[in-house]
């Protein structure tokens, strides 16, 4: 009996037109009495720029543009899709319904037999969505799945808080997975710890047409850093063991692009050179669920990532949630 794998057939990425360098943001913040500097931002995060969506641009709009690139690379159309899974913490609609995945389905013109739903695991969202898609394909339920990570985090940032407002940006990334007899996604691992939910969250709640509490992102930076470094090392070793691979057999580490120091720490603990890490955080900051597929697409389109290579994808975010995947690209 032939095993069925989920193979990456195409990737795509999209960043909004508005690009803000650190200096651009420094000048914006100075106008509201908030002081920071390019040196302060780069030293702590490795970020040099980020992209913000236009006022009339929705999360679904970013996702559609990334999806179109991935579909083109995969040599298929939206009519070929069986399922759309979209990871996001910033959906088009309050309460998350209708799901942004359903909006994307409509905007892509995908047929109505195509299922669609959102996944919410913040910065780990893409690894969660990828693992779900892989399970559907392996069981024979679906043959072609569009997996998306898309965010408009600029809309939940408190620009009075320089510790968070300089770190995040907007964007979308996409992957088309298809059923294949050839190895593709070799292993996945997902985890969560709800007891740590308060260190990175949006604490407000919808109430009677308004918001009770803050609608802005809040973060305990040191606590997040400490936990992220710990769990990323653990899940990386776990997924490698599942795939029966050793760290030295990984050609590229494609991590969540949150902070260059976290990526450097993870690579060091894995015994990997930074030359084997796909780094895009300097250009678009932390785009949450979009960051891994954006980095993956950048690596593919630059020619760094080649067919047949082993990739380790990993991400960690609010929830607290984290996950990883090993892919033979």
Distance (Å, rounded) from C-alpha 214 to C-alpha 306? 45
Pairing, β 310-317 against β 200-201: unpaired
Of how many residues is the chain composed? 329
Q: Which of 102, 256, 259, 284 is catalytic?
A: 256
Structure tokens at 61: 């709009």
Q: What is the DSSP string of 37-97?
A: -HHHHHHHH---EEEE--TT--HHHHHHHHHHHHHHHHT--GGG-SEEEEE-SS-SSGGG-
Q: What is the signed CA dihedral for 34, 38, 43, 48, rounded to 10 degrees?
A: 120
Structure tokens at 282: 């300097």
35 CB burial (10 A radius; 0-12, 13-18, 19+): exposed
Query: Is residue 102 flagged as an active site residue?
Result: no
Contact between 313 and 235 (Cβ < 8 Å): no
Distance (Å, rounded) from C-alpha 115 to C-alpha 61? 19
Closest Cα partner for 315 from 298, 299, 291?
291
Q: Which of 22, 51, 123, 259 is catalytic?
A: 123
Residue 30: helix, strand or coil by DSSP?
helix
Structure tokens at 69: 């690139």
Number of neighbours of residue 288 by Cβ within 10 angstroms: 33
Closest Cα partner for 300 from 285, 133, 308, 268?
308
Per the listing, tokens 């606590």 go with 223
Query: Is residue 123 flagged as an active site residue?
Result: yes
Query: Is residue 244 flagged as an active site residue?
Result: no
In angstroms, the Cα distances linking 313 to 99, 138, 176 are: 25, 19, 16
Please give the positions annotated as active site. 123, 256, 286
């Amino acid at each position: 009996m032939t095993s069925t794998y989920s193979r990456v057939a195409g990737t795509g990425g999209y960043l909004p037109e508005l690009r803000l360098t650190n200096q651009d943001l420094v000048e914006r913040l100075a106008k509201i009495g908030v002081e920071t500097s390019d040196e302060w931002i780069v030293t702590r995060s490795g970020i040099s720029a980020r992209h913000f969506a236009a006022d009339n641009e929705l999360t679904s709009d970013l996702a559609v543009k990334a999806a179109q690139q991935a579909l083109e690379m995969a040599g298929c159309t939206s009519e070929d899709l069986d399922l759309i899974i979209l990871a996001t913490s910033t959906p088009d609609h309050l309460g998350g319904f209708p799901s942004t995945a359903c909006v994307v389905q409509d905007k892509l013109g995908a047929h109505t037999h195509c299922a669609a739903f959102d996944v919410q695991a913040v910065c780990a969202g893409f690894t969660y969505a990828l693992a779900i898609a892989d399970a559907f394909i392996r069981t024979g339920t679906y043959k072609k799945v569009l997996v998306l990570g898309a965010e408009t985090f600029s809309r939940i940032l408190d620009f009075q808080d320089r510790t968070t407002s300089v770190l995040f940006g907007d964007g979308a990334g996409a992957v088309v997975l298809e059923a294949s007899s050839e190895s593709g996604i070799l292993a996945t691992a997902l985890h969560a710890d709800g007891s740590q939910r308060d260190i990175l969250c949006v604490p407000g709640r919808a109430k009677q047409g308004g918001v009770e509490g803050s609608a802005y992102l809040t973060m305990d930076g040191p606590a997040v850093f400490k936990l992220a470094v710990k769990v990323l090392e653990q899940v990386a070793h776990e997924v490698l063991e599942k795939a029966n691979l050793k760290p030295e057999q990984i050609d590229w580490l494609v991590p969540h692009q949150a902070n260059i120091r976290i990526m450097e720490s993870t690579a060091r603990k894995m015994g990997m050179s930074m030359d084997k890490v796909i780094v895009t955080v300097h250009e678009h900051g932390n785009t949450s669920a979009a960051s891994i597929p954006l980095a993956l697409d950048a690596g593919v389109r630059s020619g760094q990532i080649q067919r047949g290579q082993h990739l380790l994808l990993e991400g960690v975010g609010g929830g607290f949630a984290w996950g990883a995947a090993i892919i033979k690209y």
